[in-house]
Amino acid sequence: MNTIKFLGTAGARFVVMKQLRASGGIWLTLDGTHVLIDPGPGALLRCLSSRPKLDPQDLEGIILTHRHLDHSNDINIMIEAMTNGGFKKKGVVFAPSDALQGDPVILKYAREQVDHIEILKEKGKYHVGNISFETPKQLKHGVETYGLNIRGKNSTISLITDTDYFTDLASFFNGNILIINVVMLEDRCNIEHLCLNEAELIIKENKPRLAILTHFGMGMVKAKPWEIAEQLTKKLGVQVLAAQDGMQINIDQYTK
């Protein structure tokens, strides 16, 4: 079965630090390929405590959208877990260049444990296992950051990760399943994250088969995102879900 598993739904430092929501990232199983996206704090624990358990040695790749700790904290331990402690050299790690340079979040010894590292860049095209993905546009965030369009045989999954809003943002991410990181309930012009109104604009424009809100900051958590998702579904005529820790989505229900 093709699935998206939300190991965690925490966004922004306070929700992560207090673990009001978990912060493990997203496990994608598509066309027989297992990929982990943004292994934040607790990713390994969330894999091993999942029911059924997710075995990191099944992974063929790890994708890091950007270097911030709520996305990258567990990347080195997940590389070790994917490669059986480095004894089985395998897998691909995809990351922006600044995750590897200067003050790197991916340690040099861990890089030696994988088959290879691929650098993400704007308009990049990549393959891992039986799936492909693209990074169509560098996003507006404090570090080098990319959203994803992931393509399987019958489906496309778009992920808009952390970014400030810009006018043509929606046009780059038109998958039939659209995942949006919605950190803020209301816009704050000095913070480069999406707010709820901006997410609504994107969903209204793209009309995916399924939109999933995730990566919640404190304001969103307090506002009961599951109720917000129900309201958006009625308002926009698009199925909208608020991700919950451990939630699993059956991708096949939303294929063309």
What does each of the 256 residues of the chain score in pLDDT, given as a tens digit? 999 999 999 998 899 999 999 999 999 999 999 999 999 999 999 999 999 999 999 999 999 999 999 999 999 999 999 999 999 999 999 999 999 999 999 999 999 999 999 999 999 999 999 999 999 999 999 999 999 999 999 999 999 999 999 999 999 999 999 999 999 999 887 899 999 999 999 999 999 999 999 999 999 999 999 999 999 999 999 999 999 999 999 999 998 6
Q: What is the pLDDT of residue 149?
A: 98
Strand partners, 92: 61, 116
Q: pTM to 2 decimals? A: 0.97
Q: What is the pLDDT of residue 188?
A: 84
Residues 19, 42: contact at Cβ < 8 Å? Answer: yes
92: phi then psi, degrees, rounded to nearest 5: -125, 140
Q: How far is CA 6 from CA 38, 126, 195, 214, in A?
A: 11, 23, 20, 9
Structural domains in the chain, sorted by start: 3-254 (3.60.15.10)
List the alpha helices (DSSP H) in the chain.
13-18, 43-49, 69-72, 75-82, 108-111, 196-206, 218-222, 225-236
DSSP letters along 101-129, please?
SSS-SS-HHHHTTSSEEEEE-TTEEEEET
The distance in angstroms from the start CA to the end CA of the chain is 16
At 8, list the tokens: 């965690």
What does the alpha-carbon distance between residue 182 and residue 179 come to, in Å, rounded to a whole number?
9
Q: How many CB atoms are closer than 10 A to CB 58?
A: 13
What does the alpha-carbon distance between residue 183 and residue 30 come to, in Å, rounded to a whole number?
27
Residues 133, 110: contact at Cβ < 8 Å? Answer: no
Q: What is the pLDDT of residue 255?
A: 84
